[in-house]
Chain A
Amino acid sequence: QKEVEQNSGPLSVPEGAIASLNCTYSDRVSQSFFWYRQYSGKSPELIMSIYSNGDKEDGRFTAQLNKASQYVSLLIRDSQPSDSATYLCAVRVVDFNKFYFGSGTKLNVKP
Chain B
Amino acid sequence: GAVVSQHPSRVICKSGTSVKIECRSLDFQATTMFWYRQFPKQSLMLMATSNEGSKATYEQGVEKDKFLINHASLTLSTLTVTSAHPEDSSFYICSAAFDQETQYFGPGTRLLVL
Residue numbers of A with Cβ under 8 A of B are 32, 34, 36, 42-46, 49, 88, 90, 92, 97-99, 101-104
Contacts and interface: CB of A to CB of B under 8 A. Distances in A.
Interface string B42-58: 11101001000000000
Interface residues of B, number: 19
Contacts of A34: 102-103
A96 B103 CA distance: 15
Given A44-B44, A46-B102, A92-B101, A99 B34 contact: yes
B111 to A, nearest CB: 14
Contacts of A99: 34, 46, 103
Contacts of A49: 101-102
Interface in B98-112: 100-108
Interface string B8-32: 0000000000000000000000001
B61 interface: no
B76 interface: no
* Interface SS of A by simple majority: strand
Contacts of B105: 36, 43-46
Interface in B66-114: 91, 93, 100-108
Contacts of A43: 91, 93, 105-108
Nearest to B102: A49
Given A101-B46, A102-B43, 16 more contacts: A32-B101, A34-B102, A42-B108, A43-B107, A43-B108, A46-B102, A92-B100, A92-B101, A97-B32, A97-B49, A98-B46, A99-B34, A99-B46, A101-B44, A103-B42, A103-B43
